[in-house]
Amino acid sequence: MATIRELTYDLLRRNGITTIFGNPGSNELPFLQDFPTDFRYILALHEGAAVGMADGYAQATGRTALINLHSAAGTGNAMGGLANAWNSHSPLLVTAGQQTRAMIGIEPLLTNLDATTLPKPLVKWSYEPARAEDVPLAMSRALHLSGLPAPGPVYLSIPYDDWAKPAEPESLRLLDRVVSAAGALGDDAKAGLVARLERSSNPVIILGPDVDAARANAHAVRLAERLKAPVWIAPSAPRCPFPTTHANFRGLLPASMAGISRLLQGHDLVLVVGAPVFRYHEYDPGPFLPVGAELIQITCDPDEAVRAPMGQAVVGNVGLILAALADAVSDAARAAPEPRQRPPRIAPGEAPLAPERVIDLIDELAPRDAIYVNESTSTIEAMWQRMRWEKPGSYYFGAAGGLGFAMPAAVGVQLAEPDRQVIALIGDGSANYSITALWTAAQHGVPVVFVIMRNGTYGALRWFAGVLNAGGVPALDVPDIDFVAIATGYGVEAVRVDTDDGFAAAFAKALEAGRPSLIEVATTWKSP
């Protein structure tokens, strides 16, 4: 009879999971002993980085990624990453080792107290099996639940002595289980939505990350072209669901009530697909919608549907619904939107470079199918305005508003997409939250190009201090950090540049290197 550990590895294989991200401790060693040769373990030097790598990998593959954390301490270190995963609907299975069952009651060192409560509310399900024999069923349930709509992280706390116990014979049935979700529109519902769209005199489409996650970008393009509708990207979007080069593309909506309402003025119907309604940030009070506008939301997340303060919501498979609408709507008789005016390219300048100039150089020199992982928070708007993102899965950004996502996520995305170049744009403040990801990239030869935009300050925070009229705030600057020395110490080839020619040469070399590279470029700062 197989042990619980052996059955669990078989279960993972059957579900296509042979990569594990983690930072193990003593409680996790019994699961990892005699590690199968057909699996790979991606070691991160901090649990937050492990979650970021798994998050990027899960988003890029669209499949559940497995994370191995160390009890309560490791879970605590990983919570910021779980916040990102929760908000981006990333399917993650997080396992944490628990103390041996024989001692849990006396709470020895490394006991995960209240283990199921600890990761909440940032997981869909949190569980510690009541007995060792329940571990395979818990793993099966977690695997399937993580990927069902809306996808998200799940958490299992497993006592380390459970792995060696024999599995019950009936547990073998778990190996053949298949759980799938439908979520297409019925005929009547589709006809009602199509009629409402065709009745609109001036519709606008707002797209969110779940469109890109469903790889439904082409359906969004077809729908926008048939409706002759402009397309905005939902506020603070962590993915790019629509080609930024398309004539209907308008840009990224601001994360404020008044700002959104102002930009949607004149539209009678607002169709929001694959996004919350809306994820506000800056407090800029105003009406939720302009006068005379109605809103329809299409989402995979029931919680996002019911918490919206306005409009009609449809919960289902975002990709299937978009495809059905694009197939069914008639071509509108009105004129198509005029292409937006793209900002002119920044001319070569003196050191330090304008961040827009760096973005222009990257856009010009990088492969057209490159993938960008961003955590240069003061240049978000400039990236959306200037970058030419055309393929699905071209852009990733931390969904929860915290820092530390992009460097490890870039490693995870590159592991998932070995045939596309991943470029990580990182602010010098952001980089310090997960700089250890460089070591993992070096150890596994993951050829991410890391570009550190060094302006010596927390740019976005400095801007927000102005918005809040918060003068005299301390700790907004981060001078005197030598990222080249840090990267070199982790085994990554690195260079410092401050001119156009220097950056272009370093970037071209990094693209050809076939190994991780870091470029530290001196940039100016201005309000985003």
pLDDT single digits (tens) 380-420 = 999 999 999 999 999 999 999 889 999 999 999 999 999 99
E strand or H helix that includes residue 251: strand 249-252
Tell me the percentage of the chain whose pLDDT exceeds 90: 89
What pLDDT does residue 472 have? 76
Neighbours of 265 (CB within 10 A): 11
What pLDDT does residue 467 have? 67
Neighbours of 297 (CB within 10 A): 25
pLDDT at residue 6 greater than cutoff 90:
yes
Question: Hey, do 4-176 and 355-522 end up sharing a CATH topology, with the first three levels equal?
Answer: yes
What pLDDT does residue 474 have? 80
Neighbours of 336 (CB within 10 A): 14
For residues 319 and 322, give the distance between their C-alpha atoms in angstroms, rounded to a whole number: 5
So which residues are the catalytic ones? 25-26, 28, 47, 70, 281, 401
What pLDDT does residue 351 have? 81
For residues 181 and 174, give the distance between their C-alpha atoms in angstroms, rounded to a whole number: 18
User: Would you identify the CATH topology of the domain 187-328?
Assistant: Rossmann fold (3.40.50)
DSSP codes, 353-407: BPHHHHHHHHHHHS-TT-EEEEE-GGGHHHHHHH----STT-EEE-SSS-SS-HH
What pLDDT does residue 173 have? 95
- The dotted CATH code for 4-176 is 3.40.50.970
Beta bridge partners of 425: 374, 451
Q: 48: pLDDT confidence band, cut at 50, 70 and 90?
A: very high
What does the domain layout of the chain look like in residue ranges?
4-176, 187-328, 355-522
The predicted model gives 486-508 an average pLDDT of: 96
pLDDT at residue 526 greater than cutoff 70:
no
What pLDDT does residue 47 have? 97
The least confident of 72-86, 116-130, 330-344, 510-524 is 330-344
The per-residue pLDDT of the chain, averaged, comes to: 95
Neighbours of 505 (CB within 10 A): 13
What pLDDT does residue 234 have? 98
For residues 281 and 360, give the distance between their C-alpha atoms in angstroms, rounded to a whole number: 28
Pairing of strands 449-454, 517-522: parallel
The predicted model gives 140-152 an average pLDDT of: 97
pLDDT single digits (tens) 175-189 = 999 998 989 999 999
User: Would you identify the CATH topology of the domain 355-522?
Assistant: Rossmann fold (3.40.50)
Q: In this structure, what token pair is assigned to residue 182? A: 């439908």
For residues 284 and 302, give the distance between their C-alpha atoms in angstroms, rounded to a whole number: 27
Higher pLDDT residue, 480 or 443? 443
Q: 465: pLDDT confidence band, cut at 50, 70 and 90?
A: low
For residues 344 and 502, give the distance between their C-alpha atoms in angstroms, rounded to a whole number: 22
The predicted model gives 356-364 an average pLDDT of: 96
